[in-house]
Amino acid sequence: MMLPFKRAVLALLILAAPTLLQAQSAEAPVQQVLQTHADVIVKSSRKTIGPAIDALATSGLPEAQVVLERWQAKDMWVNKETGLFVFAEKADGGLQLFDVSDGSEIGIADRKQFKQLKPNSGIRGMIASALVQFRLNDPNPENRADALTAIERDAEASHLAALRGAIDTEDDADLKARKERLERLLTIRFDEDEAARLAAIESFAGDLGVDVRATLNPLVASEIQTAQQIPDGAVAVEVGSDDLTREQAYDLLVEAGLAPALVDTATVKEALIANISGDTVAGVQVASLNEDAARAAAYQLLADQGLADPLVTQNEIDKAIESHSFFRVYVGAPLPVALAAQATLQDIETQVALNQTADLVLDALSLASIYFLAAIGLAITFGVMGVINMAHGEFIMMGAYTGYVVQLFIPDLTLSILVAIPCAFMVTFGAGVLMERLVIRWLYHRPLETLLATFGVSIALQQLAKNIFGTQARPLTAPAWLDGSMVINDIVSISYIRIAIFILALLFLALFLIVMNRTRLGLEVRAVTQNPRMAASMGINPDRINMLTFGFGSGIAGIAGVAIGLYAKVTSEMGSDYIVQSFMTVVVGGVGNIWGTLLGATMVGTLQKGIEWLNPSNTLAAQTYMILFIILFIQFRPRGIIALKGRAAEA
């Protein structure tokens, strides 16, 4: 019953909509701005739409942002009859219209009376750039940060004024610093005031930001040119310097049409062949043209007869170069700006070199801490006991797998690592004691047999790990608070995992010193190390001390495995990646001395990183050079940096 009535009301609304639209929108300021540029807005050409977008963006009207956003979202329509702009949404029976000035509802209109504005991707990009100035002052800090990111990604000259207007009103210290920095970068790129550009360039002296170098590098783009005199705004270039050789200088003259081109060997040969008459060329026997000098002389005869281009003599080359000036022209910016940018870049390069050195030192210390952790257990078993344990790397591997197993049962990563460290110590301590009781105790003072036996144990442990865990790498996941890196600047950074390993290495150094110098076990170990017979006569059981010492060294290797597993892949072969470096660390530092092990790890880590820096494309070659250096070092100092006195020294 009510359906005909509803249709009638809807029809009346559709008929009345144009009148309502005209009454509410025609006098609105934002509508007037749109009407001023109505033709280009309706046409929607990327080449002509710029003034319309700029007019809205700079109008100062509070509703301008909404208009731009709705236009970008294809929600803006134009009345075909009146030419007025509205926002519209599809509705039953037509379009639901909204006023562009305040967003209020106008009514429902026939869709055929309106045309939808559909800006293409290029126009939407231009609108997005214009919206930046509104978003720079958005109440939401996240929106302001997004606006800054958008400018950093694709800056335009129009952003500079908007950015300057948004600095004083910024209440967030970090965002204000970003705005000020970005304003200086845009000043360098787009400001027409040379003094302002120079001041902005000088403010970045020593700045290590990649964005600064990306901004300054285009300003120092240059090319070398030649002319009779050096023009204003150019810098003279000396011929024969690294910037311009004599050959390059003459090539410039030839390219500029200021000197004849040199005749090359191929041209000489072609000319001679083309002018052969019988068995002669220009009256010279062909058989005699077997040397460059003879061919050049024959070619000169052809040139004298006008049959070939003349040769250019060295005197002519020198005269041509001396009669012209060569200069560098900066094509990226005026000379004062380019020179200021060049000076700032040179200062930055100095800072970059210093920071690269600092970054290399941090990498070396980080690697040294890893080697120290890997070698500290070996310093006990090999250095103190004199046992060549080739299975030491497998104890590291066992510790890493222990951490992996613990994480299977304890999902909390922080708690799992805290539990894994003592578990790894107990597992590898037990394995070390078992190995000492079953194998090592029967082979003391027999280094060759010990080496072969422990090498066999190493292979057996690797195969056992493959049978249990498979051949694929297993994850030992670090807690979230160890993710990422400590970024000091754009050049110097170090991962939190490496910082944790470095701290752990220092803790183990302290633990080792306390155990060896402050406990009865340490006293007995030192006694057995220096004189086992005298220690036995004092009531110390050397056999028991050897067992505990070997177990203690193996346990420390297990803890090192947990730490290394957070950084490296956990596989059955991971121990073999560290056994060679561990032995080098102990031998170079001084067998059996913890301070020597620390110095040895530092030396090996620094040496490896230094060689890798000199030869970054070939890691294997870097390791080879390092081993050769260590061999030479041992030749001159066979007992290491700090030599041990006692049984280990005698061994």
- pLDDT for 1: 41
User: 132 exposed, middle or buried (CB, 10 Å; 0-12, 13-18, 19+)?
Assistant: buried
pLDDT above 60: residue 89: yes
Full-model pTM: 0.64
Amino acid identity, residue 461?
A: L
Residue 566: helix, strand or coil by DSSP?
A: helix
In the prediction, which pLDDT does 384 show? Answer: 67
For residue 634, pLDDT beyond 90? no
C-beta separation of 612 from 589 below 8 A? no
Q: In this predicted structure, what is the pLDDT of residue 645?
A: 52
Distant-in-sequence, close-in-space partners of 484: CB < 8 Å, separation ≥ 6:
495, 496
pLDDT of residue 512: 81
What amino acid occupies position 363?
Answer: D
- pLDDT for 68 beyond 80: yes
Tens digits of per-residue pLDDT, 526-569?
A: 787 777 788 788 888 888 888 888 888 889 889 989 988 888 88
Model confidence at 594: pLDDT above 70: yes
85: left (phi over 0), alpha (psi -120 to 50) or beta: beta
Task: Please check the confidence at residue 651 and state whether its pLDDT lies above 60.
Answer: no
CA dihedral for 386, 391, 393, 399, sign (positive or negative)? negative
Q: Is the pLDDT of residue 291 over 70?
A: yes
Q: Rounded to whole angstroms, what are the CA distances from 262 to 255, 309, 326, 337? A: 12, 9, 19, 38
pLDDT at position 3 is 44
The C-alpha atoms of residue 153 and residue 607 are separated, in whole angstroms, by: 40
CA distances from 180 to 62, 135, 152, 188, 558 (A): 25, 16, 12, 13, 51
Range 129-156 average pLDDT: 84
Q: Does 271 have pLDDT greater than 50?
A: yes
pLDDT at 20: 47
Residue 2 has pLDDT above 50, yes or no: no
Dump pLDDT digits (tens) for 169-186: 888 999 999 999 999 999
Q: How confident is the model at residue 592 (pLDDT cuts 50, 70, 90)?
A: low
Of 189-193, 410-414, 430-434, 586-590, give the lowest mean pLDDT range.
586-590
- Decide: helix, strand or coil at residue 493: strand
**Of the candidate ranges 15-19, 234-238, 249-253, the one whose mean pLDDT is the lowest:** 15-19
The reported pLDDT for the residue numbered 188 is 93
Residues of the chain with pLDDT > 90: what percent?
A: 15
Residue 616 pLDDT greater than 70, yes or no:
no
Residue 518 scores a pLDDT above 70: yes
The model's pLDDT over 449-489, given as tens digits with 9 standing for 90+, comes to: 888 898 899 999 999 999 999 888 888 888 888 888 888 87
Percent of the chain whose predicted confidence (pLDDT) is above 70: 93
Q: Residue 16's pLDDT band (boundaries 50, 70, 90)?
A: very low
590 pLDDT more than 50 = yes
Mean pLDDT of the chain: 83
pLDDT of residue 178: 92
- CA distances 379 to 366, 470, 471, 518, Å, are 19, 31, 30, 19
CB 38 within 8 A of CB 79: no
Mean pLDDT, rounded, for 331-345: 89
Q: What is the 3-state secondary structure (H, E, C) of 42-97?
A: HHCCCCCCHHHHHHHHCCCCCCHHHHHHHHHCCCEEEECCCCCEEEEEEECCEEEE
Cα–Cα dist 389/123, whole Å: 71
Check: CB of residue 410 under 8 Å from CB of residue 419.
yes
Q: Has residue 413 got a pLDDT over 80?
A: yes
Rounded to an integer, what is the distance from CA 304 to the centroid of its chain? 63
Which amino acid appears at position 35 of this protein?
Q
Spatial distance between the Cα atoms of 413 and 565, rounded to a whole number of angstroms: 13
pLDDT at position 643 is 62
**What are the residues whose beta carbons fall under 8 Å from the beta carbon of 163, sequence distance 6 or more?**
136, 151, 179, 182, 183, 186
For residue 48, pLDDT beyond 80: yes
Give kind and range of the element (H or E) at residue 206. Answer: none
At 571, which helix (H) or strand (E)?
none
pLDDT for residue 204: 92
The band of 30, judged by pLDDT with boundaries at 50, 70 and 90, is confident
What the block records as the tokens of 608 is 């490896």
